[in-house]
Chains A and B, each alone.
Chain A
Amino acid sequence: MSLFDAFDFSGILARWPELAWGAFTTLWIAVAAMIGGLAIGAAAAWAGLSRHRAVRLVPAVYVEAIRNTPFLVQAYVLYFGLPAIGMRLTSYPAALLSLSIYAGAYAAEILRAGIEAVPGGQVEAARSLGLSRIATLRLVVLRQALAAMYPALVSQFVLVMLASSLVSAIAVPELTAAANDIQGQTFRSFEAFMVVAALYLALTALVRTGLAGLERRVCAFRFVGAR
């Protein structure tokens, strides 16, 4: 008997619609959480630039609290904790909220580092050339900051997508939950998780190559004159 006779993938592959739907759910949850995370991260980074110490303290506490506790526990606080104090959250909102809050703590650092990467002289040069404050921010600071932090944001997106597998523990029917469902019914757990691991690999490869292709457009000026 060869090694491959021991494996039976037919039962898993027959459930491809569930797997495809799970992969789609994983992808859109990750996209939504990344957008939410960028919004929260931008707010945190902005508050971190405040002149008032008390205002600066808020994002600092947020970032440290989120980065030093497990995401799973954060999701449990929202999903199991909030209903107990009278705020009912179903699994999708709980998943999106917790993933966004989690992503935001990492995005805040990336955004801050990105803006700091733009030399102060650039702002002074733009202002003395007569560009308005808004134009300076838009054309000089943000554009270069985006280019500086683009690779980190891509890695962050992949990490959020992989972390989203944990929302299967709060009853969101995404890719890992689909695998769990299928293995529970077919008793082919190894095969089920092998297939799902391959699907995650395909998703991360897709995201990485897709976003790398987009980099040339988003950071077009970086490639001007480049050979």
Chain B
Amino acid sequence: MFQTFGWGHVEFLVAALQWTAALAGMAMLGGALGGLLMVVLRLSRLRVLRGTARAVTYVVQGTPLLVQLFLAYFGAAQAGLQVPPLLAAALAFTLWASAFLGEIWRGAIEGVPTGQREAGLALGLRPGQVMRRIVLPQAVRPAIPPTVGFLVQLVKNTAIASIIGFRELTRAGQIVANVTFHPMAVFLVVALLYFALCYPLSLIARRLERRLGGPRPLAGPITV
């Protein structure tokens, strides 16, 4: 018999929210490492490495995340590996996040005025020192708001993992919708839970954008 949609179901959905958060967290951690790797490759002196990173970014940003997820999930199964949905999803989302975070961070690094680099070199710093002590510290500030904004995209996109059967919030919603036959109420509650997670992040990203994103002030009056 059908169950009526009640508090027990809402609790079930809220519990599923932690799997959404877990997947997003795993992808964010993996994506941060992968993104760093992408930045290093993109800024490498070797053309092959730059080309590889660019090709990976191009493919990831030019194909749907769902197809990437299917490749990880069904591809592994075809290779004889029974990968649980969480692992396949974490893998696909990590690759996806790496490409996007890599682009965001590379943009922040390239946004540092060339004069800063040139000044560092002119003062006799080695290229590595220029990167570590002059360019990177200035690239961190503008990189923060888009990184937080990307986290919103990541949380929202974990819903796609429901399609390969990972029981996060959206999949839990489908299960509850099937037993209660109140899909409207159920999916609205699901949407509300996503909103509760994403909207604060969006607000933080916007506030940071206002505080950090604007034109950086010069270092102060130039005195001779």
Contact = CB atoms under 8 A, between A and B. Distances in A.
Nearest to B182: A84
B19 interface: no
A212 interface: no
B74 A197 contact: no
A68 B188 contact: no
Contact of B187 (A76, A176, A197): A76
Overall SS of chain A's interface: helix
A204 B183 contact: no
B183 A76 contact: yes
A70 interface: yes
Interface in A51-88: 64-65, 67-74, 76-77, 80-82, 84-85
A80 B177 contact: yes
B170 A69 contact: no
B50 interface: no
Interface string A192-208: 01101100110011000
B56 to A, nearest CB: 12
Contacts of B170: 70, 72-73, 76
B65 interface: yes
Nearest to A65: B195
Contact of B184 (A69, A85, A165): A85
Nearest to B66: A165
Overall SS of chain B's interface: helix
Nearest to A169: B163
B187 A77 contact: yes
Contacts of B62: 158, 162, 200-201, 204-205
A86 to B, nearest CB: 10
Nearest to B77: A189
Given A70-B156, A70-B159, A84 B183 contact: yes
A73 B159 contact: yes
Interface residues of B, number: 41
Contacts of B202: 64, 67-68
B188 A201 contact: no
A205 B162 CA distance: 29
Contact of B64 (A74, A163, A180, A205): A163
Contacts of A80: 177, 183-184, 187
Contacts of B199: 64, 68
Interface residues of A, number: 40
B190 interface: yes
B212 to A, nearest CB: 19
B75 interface: yes
Nearest to B191: A69
Contact of B188 (A81, A197, A204): A81
A81 B59 contact: no
B125 interface: no
A190 B63 contact: no
A187 B77 CA distance: 10
Given A68-B195, A200-B62, A193 B71 contact: yes
A190 B160 contact: no
Contact of A73 (B67, B77, B191): B191
A126 B174 CA distance: 56
Nearest to A64: B199
21 contacts: A65-B191, A67-B202, A68-B156, A69-B156, A70-B159, A70-B191, A72-B160, A72-B163, A74-B191, A77-B187, A80-B183, A81-B183, A82-B184, A165-B64, A165-B65, A179-B67, A188-B78, A189-B70, A190-B71, A197-B68, A204-B62
